[in-house]
A and B are shown apart, each in its own frame.
Chain A
Amino acid sequence: MKKNKHKPVTRHNRGVSVSIQDKFYAFLHIHAHALFSSLGRLVRTPFTSAMTLLVLALAIALAGSFYILVVNVQQITGDLQSSNRISLFLKLEVTPKQAQKLAQNLKKNTVFQEIKLISKDQAMEEFKAYSGFGEALNALQDNPLPIVIQILPKPARLDQVGLTQLIDQLENLPEADFAQLDMQWVKRLQALMAIARTGVILVSLLLAFAVLFIIGNTIRLELQNRSDEVQISKLVGATDVFIRRPFLYSGFWVGFFAALIAWIIITLILLVINQPVAKLFALYDVTYQIIYLRFSEIIMMCFLSSALGILGAWSVLRYQLQQIRPE
């Protein structure tokens, strides 16, 4: 569209010449006005606005808290990721000397990164410390625990097939009773987390649609309430772009504030579960600091939510604005 069409110059607009600078100021003025007048309208209808914002915030908080939950669980399991340790339990009749020799041999094997021998006594100490049976175990005459060699394979052998082969090889050693991959549950948990991550994406997508429709509907209602204003604006020569602008800003504000409220909700949830989680980890002798939403994530959430607000408003206005014709 040619620029000069915007110029309100007719033969009767004598002495009116709109410079580029003036146009720029008018442009800024129009946008600033739309930005703040749409904000003002939100504030003038506090009850309706609050309801809409809360519904939206709950939807966003649902997706956000699911996300932060996955981030936290990932963090916990991430610490355990290096635990591809194999515990090789030796037969009970194997003497400490034989075990020592076996460990030496294994160390020569280039496949392994780390070999650690755990004697019967060490195993017993650990068991006493962590099992909770403590002194009761002293009653045992013999130490029933086998000698264990902990083996950490090199990362190159970490893929699933390699590990299984390795375990087979180790179990075939004459001294070996059985070999067990530590933390196999970590692998399972990680697979579970991969599903959860996909779940986060799917749930977020669904909720994004919900946000889109809720905001679209809010804007549709606002448009209906203000149809007189739209008609009059059309009659005095307002373009659709001009009429659409304040509504798009309304969508922006609704999305933006909903994201801020969602952030508060998520933070409150995390604060509430902080204490029980700390207790839980204390039982495992671990200190774990809950991860909150990062600043960049909050910004992202606000950005996405505002963008959905504008998109929701735009898609509704595209059709509804055509329907309103001055009578």
Chain B
Amino acid sequence: MIRFTGVTKRYPDAGDALRDVSFYLKRGEMAFLTGHSGAGKSTLLKLIAVMERCSSGTVLLDGQNLNHVSDKKIPYIRRKLGLIFQDYKLLHDRTVFDNVALPLVVAGFSPADIPRRVRAALDKVGLLGRERKYPLTLSGGEQQRVGIARAVVHKPPVILADEPTGNLDPQLSDEIMDLFEQFKQVGTTVLIASHDIALIKQMRHRVLQLDHGKLTEDKP
């Protein structure tokens, strides 16, 4: 599903964020991306979401070479992804419902179809009944779950999460990880960037470890 071949990302000022990174994630596989801060975790995720482009090498998503995707087609690539962020990136002037519905609205889903899908996604993360609330009235864990509902509402084949549990206590983190596990069960490819070693060990999934931009460990 995701294939990196000899990928290097060089920033003009900061040097190499990624150096000669190669790995392959198959469909329905779940993996953690770990390493110290500044090791290149976020950069790697950004390359998959075409928020950045690699300096050399190739990034394939679902068989598509992302180096050759024009700016105009980037939105259609992103619709295959569910992105989850450490800071949730919710719209505070919109209700939970509107936040979760956003990926459906931008993709042109029929308005008759949207409420059902939004409720299904909210049900999955345990927030059914909170549709009319505004994000700031929810707790951190609940906000992150709104973010997850938004990431999965359009049933993307790939979920990318950047430190999804960074701001949450251990119990909430476990709940969120359980959610990811469920998505993996239904065939979604999940890649989670995290430096929470304890959590990663407990999950027994494949771990991609980055050290100063190099992939040092890739244990299945």
Select from chain A the residue with minimum beta-carbon distance to B186.
A12
Interchain residue pairs with CB less than 8 A apart (20): A10-B79, A10-B80, A10-B156, A23-B110, A30-B108, A231-B89, A232-B91, A232-B102, A233-B102, A234-B78, A235-B89, A236-B102, A236-B150, A237-B76, A237-B81, A237-B106, A238-B75, A239-B75, A239-B106, A242-B75
Is there an interface contact between A242 and B106, defined as CB atoms closer than 8 Å? Answer: yes
**Is A121 in contact with chain B by the CB < 8 A criterion?**
no
Question: What is the CA–CA distance of A13 and B78 in the complex, to the nearest angstrom?
Answer: 15
Mask for A170-202, Cβ within 8 A of B = 1, else 0? 000000000000000000000000000000000
Question: What is the CA–CA distance of A29 and B49 in the complex, to the nearest angstrom?
Answer: 28
Select from chain A the residue with minimum beta-carbon distance to B82.
A236
Question: What is the CA–CA distance of A231 and B106 in the complex, to the nearest angstrom?
Answer: 13
Known: A8-B154, A12-B157. A233 touches B106 (CB 8 A): yes
Which residue from A6, A14, A231 sits with its C-beta under 8 Å from B108?
A6
Extra pairs beyond A18-B108, A18-B109 (20, CB < 8 Å): A6-B108, A10-B62, A10-B155, A10-B156, A12-B187, A12-B188, A13-B155, A23-B108, A25-B111, A26-B108, A30-B105, A229-B91, A231-B89, A232-B89, A235-B51, A236-B83, A236-B106, A237-B78, A237-B81, A327-B51
Instruction: Report chain B residues within 8 Å CB of A27.
Output: 108
Known: A229-B91, A326-B51. A13 touches B154 (CB 8 A): yes
**Is A22 in contact with chain B by the CB < 8 A criterion?**
yes
Instruction: Report chain B residues within 8 Å CB of A18.
Output: 108-110
Residues in B148-200 with C-beta less than 8 Å from chain A:
150, 154-157, 187-188
CB distance from A64 to the nearest CB of B (A): 36
Please indicate which of the listed interface residues A8, A13, A236 has the most CB atoms of chain B within 10 Å of its own CB. Answer: A236
Q: How many residues on B have C-beta within 8 angstroms of the other chain's C-beta atoms?
A: 35
Instruction: Report chain B residues within 8 Å CB of A236.
Output: 78-79, 83, 102-103, 106, 150
CB distance from B199 to the nearest CB of A (A): 25
Q: How many residues on A have C-beta within 8 angstroms of the other chain's C-beta atoms?
A: 34
**Is B107 in contact with chain A by the CB < 8 A criterion?**
yes
**Is B14 in contact with chain A by the CB < 8 A criterion?**
no
Which residue from B107, B110, B113, B187 sits with its C-beta under 8 Å from A237?
B107
Instruction: Report chain A residues within 8 Å CB of B72.
Output: 1, 239-240
Residues in B88-109 with C-beta less than 8 Å from chain A:
89-91, 102-109
Residues in A1-36 with C-beta less than 8 Å from chain B:
1, 5-6, 8, 10-14, 18, 22-23, 25-27, 29-30, 33
Instruction: Report chain B residues within 8 Å CB of A325.
Output: 51
CB distance from B116 to the nearest CB of A (A): 12
Question: What is the CA–CA distance of A231 and B51 in the complex, to the nearest angstrom?
Answer: 11
Is there an interface contact between B78 and A235, defined as CB atoms closer than 8 Å? Answer: yes
Question: What is the CA–CA distance of A6 and B76 in the complex, to the nearest angstrom?
Answer: 8
CB distance from B70 to the nearest CB of A (A): 11
Please indicate which of the listed interface residues B104, B111, B113, B150 has the most CB atoms of chain A within 10 Å of its own CB. Answer: B111
Question: What is the CA–CA distance of A26 and B71 in the complex, to the nearest angstrom?
Answer: 24
Instruction: Report chain B residues within 8 Å CB of A237.
Output: 75-79, 81, 103, 106-107
Instruction: Report chain A residues within 8 Å CB of B188.
Output: 12
Known: A235-B49, A235-B78, A237-B76. A8 touches B102 (CB 8 A): no
Question: What is the CA–CA distance of A1 and B109 in the complex, to the nearest angstrom?
Answer: 19
CB distance from A322 to the nearest CB of B (A): 8
Question: What is the CA–CA distance of A242 and B75 in the complex, to the nearest angstrom?
Answer: 10
Question: What is the CA–CA distance of A6 and B107 in the complex, to the nearest angstrom?
Answer: 7
Select from chain A the residue with minimum beta-carbon distance to B83.
A235
Residues in B12-34 with C-beta less than 8 Å from chain A:
none
CB distance from B186 to the nearest CB of A (A): 8
**Is A228 in contact with chain B by the CB < 8 A criterion?**
yes
CB distance from A245 to the nearest CB of B (A): 11
Instruction: Report chain A residues within 8 Å CB of B102.
Output: 232-233, 236
Is there an interface contact between B106 and A12, defined as CB atoms closer than 8 Å? Answer: no
Question: What is the CA–CA distance of A37 and B204 in the complex, to the nearest angstrom?
Answer: 47
Select from chain A the residue with minimum beta-carbon distance to B103.
A236
Instruction: Report chain B residues within 8 Å CB of A23.
Output: 108, 110
Is there an interface contact between A25 and B110, defined as CB atoms closer than 8 Å? Answer: yes
CB distance from A170 to the nearest CB of B (A): 77
Question: What is the CA–CA distance of A85 and B102 in the complex, to the nearest angstrom?
Answer: 75
Which residue from A8, A10, A229 sits with its C-beta under 8 Å from B109?
A8
Question: What is the CA–CA distance of A238 and B157 in the complex, to the nearest angstrom?
Answer: 18
Instruction: Report chain B residues within 8 Å CB of A8.
Output: 79, 104, 107-109, 154
Question: What is the CA–CA distance of A14 and B156 in the complex, to the nearest angstrom?
Answer: 11
Instruction: Report chain A residues within 8 Å CB of B81.
Output: 237
Instruction: Report chain A residues within 8 Å CB of B156.
Output: 10, 12
